[in-house]
Amino acid sequence: MGVIKMKMSKLAIIGLGHVGSAVLTQAMAMNLAAEIVCIDINEKVAHGEALDATHATPCTYVPGMKVYSGDFSQCKDADIIICSGGPSILPGEKLDRLILAERNVKVIGEIMTEVTKYTKNTPFIMITNPLDVTTYLAATKFGYEKEIIRYRDYFRNTSLKTHHSKSL
pTM of the model: 0.84
CA 104 to chain centre: 14
Tens digits of pLDDT across the chain (168 residues): 454 444 569 999 999 999 999 999 999 888 889 999 999 999 999 999 999 998 876 666 666 789 999 999 999 999 999 999 999 888 888 888 889 999 999 999 999 999 999 999 999 999 998 988 998 899 889 988 767 765 555 444 444 444 454 555
pLDDT at position 54, please? Answer: 86
What is the C-alpha separation between 95 and 36, in angstroms, rounded? 33
